[in-house]
C-alpha cells in the first residue's frame, strides 16, 4: 500500500514534470523524492512516469493514476472538515421537543437563529406535552426539550429560557372583562374555572390551583392544551388562567385580564425551561445551549 506522501510526491512531479522543481515545491530535496516515486510505482505495479536524463513525462497509466491521486488528496483535505464541524456542533442533528405553547414566543426565534448560525444542523421537531418530552429525553429519543417543571433534576439539567406573567382569559362579554383593573384571587369566587390535567399539564394545573386556592372556585375541566382552554373560554364554558403569551394566539371572543399577584411570590411566574440530559454528549446540543437566552 502506498502512502499519502507518495501521492503528493507523484502529483507534484506530474505537474512540474521535473524532479528538482517538484522537490522544491514539496520543501524537500530531490533524492528522497525520486525514491518516493519509485516506491509508489512499485506499490501500484505500473510505471507512472517515463523519465530519462533529459525529460520527465507521464505514461498513460500515470495519466490515469494522476486523476485518482488528485481526487484522493482532495478527499483527504476535506475529510476532517465534517468531523470537526460535527464536533463543534455546527453540523449534525438536533431532536427537539416542544410544547404547543412554547412555540408561541420561543421556538420561532430559536429555529430562526439556528438556521442562520448553524445552517448545517438538521432540527427534527417533536410537539409533545412535557411528560412525553421528559420520557423522550430519558429514552434518548430527544436531545433537547422545551417544557415546564417539574422534572428529575438528578438526570436532567435545564435552563429557564422564557418567563412571563400569568393572566386570566374570560369570555369577551364577561363581567370580569369590564373591571379594567388587575384581578385578584377573590374576583374568581363563584366562577366556573377551566383548569388543566394534573398529570399532563401539571405545571399550569398547580399555578392555577395555587393562585385560586383561597377563593374556592368550581374547577371542572381537565385539559392538556392551553389553546383548548382558551377555545373553551371562548365557548363560554368558564374562565381560565393562561400564560400571557397566549394573547397572541388570536382567539376571537375572549378578553385577557392581568392578575394582581400581590403576595403570591415574584411576578412572571410562568417559566419555560430548556431541558436536556446531564450526561448528553451531543456537540450540537452543547452548541445550541450556548445560543439559548437565559432568564434568571
Partner DNA sequence: AGAACATGATTCCCGAAAGGTATCACTCGA
Partner DNA sequence: TCGAGTGATACCTTTCGGGAATCATGTTCT
Q: In angstroms, what is the minimal distance from the CB of 280 to DNA?
A: 18
Does 176 sit near a copy of itself (CB under 8 A)? Answer: no
- How many Å apart are CA 160 and CA 170, to the nearest integer? 28
Q: In angstroms, what is the minimal distance from the CB of 219 to a copy of itself?
A: 46
Does 1 sit near a copy of itself (CB under 8 A)? Answer: yes
Q: In angstroms, what is the minimal distance from the CB of 65 to DNA?
A: 16
Nearest to 230 by CA among 190, 182, 269, 194: 194
Query: What is the grid cell recorded at 194?
Result: 377551566
* From the list DNA, a copy of itself, none, partner contacted by residue 160 (C-beta under 5 to 8 A by kind): none
Q: Which residues are near DNA by CB under 7 A?
A: 3, 5, 17-20, 27-32, 34-39, 51-54, 56
Q: Which of 56, 86, 227, 249 binds a copy of itself (CB under 8 A)?
A: 86
Tell which positions 45-74 bind a copy of itself, by CB under 8 A: 45-48, 50, 59-65, 68-69, 71-72
Q: In angstroms, what is the minimal distance from the CB of 19 to DNA?
A: 3
Count the neighbouring beta carbons within 10 Å of the beta carbon of residue 33.
Answer: 22
Q: In angstroms, what is the minimal distance from the CB of 83 to DNA?
A: 17
x/- mask, a copy of itself, residues 255-284, rule CB under 8 A, reads --------------------------xxxx
C-alpha to C-alpha distances, 121 to 80, 111, 133, 282, nearest whole angstrom: 17, 11, 21, 12
Closest to a copy of itself by CB, 107 vs 285, is 285
Give the single-character DSSP code of 260: -
Q: What is the CA radius of gyration of the chain?
A: 33
- Report the interhelical angle of 60-87 vs 4-16 (nearest 10°): 130
What residues contact 132, with CB distance under 8 A and at least 6 apart? 97
Give the single-character DSSP code of 188: G
Does 189 sit near a copy of itself (CB under 8 A)? Answer: no
Provide the binding-site residues for a copy of itself, judged by CB under 8 A.
1-5, 43-48, 50, 59-65, 68-69, 71-72, 75-76, 78-80, 82-84, 86-88, 91-92, 281-284
Amino acid at each position: 500500500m502506498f502512502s499519502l506522501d507518495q501521492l503528493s510526491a507523484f502529483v507534484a512531479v506530474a505537474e512540474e514534470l521535473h524532479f528538482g522543481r517538484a522537490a522544491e515545491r514539496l520543501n524537500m530535496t530531490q533524492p528522497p523524492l525520486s525514491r518516493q516515486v519509485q516506491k509508489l510505482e512499485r506499490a501500484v505495479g505500473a510505471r507512472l512516469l517515463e523519465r530519462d536524463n533529459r525529460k520527465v513525462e507521464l505514461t498513460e497509466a500515470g495519466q490515469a493514476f494522476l486523476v485518482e491521486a488528485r481526487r484522493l488528496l482532495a478527499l483527504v483535505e476535506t475529510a476532517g472538515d465534517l468531523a470537526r464541524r460535527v464536533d463543534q456542533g455546527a453540523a449534525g442533528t438536533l431532536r427537539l421537543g416542544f410544547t404547543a405553547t412554547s412555540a408561541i414566543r420561543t421556538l420561532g426565534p430559536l429555529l430562526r437563529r439556528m438556521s442562520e448560525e448553524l445552517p448545517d444542523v438538521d432540527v427534527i421537531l417533536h410537539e409533545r406535552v412535557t411528560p412525553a418530552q421528559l420520557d423522550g429525553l430519558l429514552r434518548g429519543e430527544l436531545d433537547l426539550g422545551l417544557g415546564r417543571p417539574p422534572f428529575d433534576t438528578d438526570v436532567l439539567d435545564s435552563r429557564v429560557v422564557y418567563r412571563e406573567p400569568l393572566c386570566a382569559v374570560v369570555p369577551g362579554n364577561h363581567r370580569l372583562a369590564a373591571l379594567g383593573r388587575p384581578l385578584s384571587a377573590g374576583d374568581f369566587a363563584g366562577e366556573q374555572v377551566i383548569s388543566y390535567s394534573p398529570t399532563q399539564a401539571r405545571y399550569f394545573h398547580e399555578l392555577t390551583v395555587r393562585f385560586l386556592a383561597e377563593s374556592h372556585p368550581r374547577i371542572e375541566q381537565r385539559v392538556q392544551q392551553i389553546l383548548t382552554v382558551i377555545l373553551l373560554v371562548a365557548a363560554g364554558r368558564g374562565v381560565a388562567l393562561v400564560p400571557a403569551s397566549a394573547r397572541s394566539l388570536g382567539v376571537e371572543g375572549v378578553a385577557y385580564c392581568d392578575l394582581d399577584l400581590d403576595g403570591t411570590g415574584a411576578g412572571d411566574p410562568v417559566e419555560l425551561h430548556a431541558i436536556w440530559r446531564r450526561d448528553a454528549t451531543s456537540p450540537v446540543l452543547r452548541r445550541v445551549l450556548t445560543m439559548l437566552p437565559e432568564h434568571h
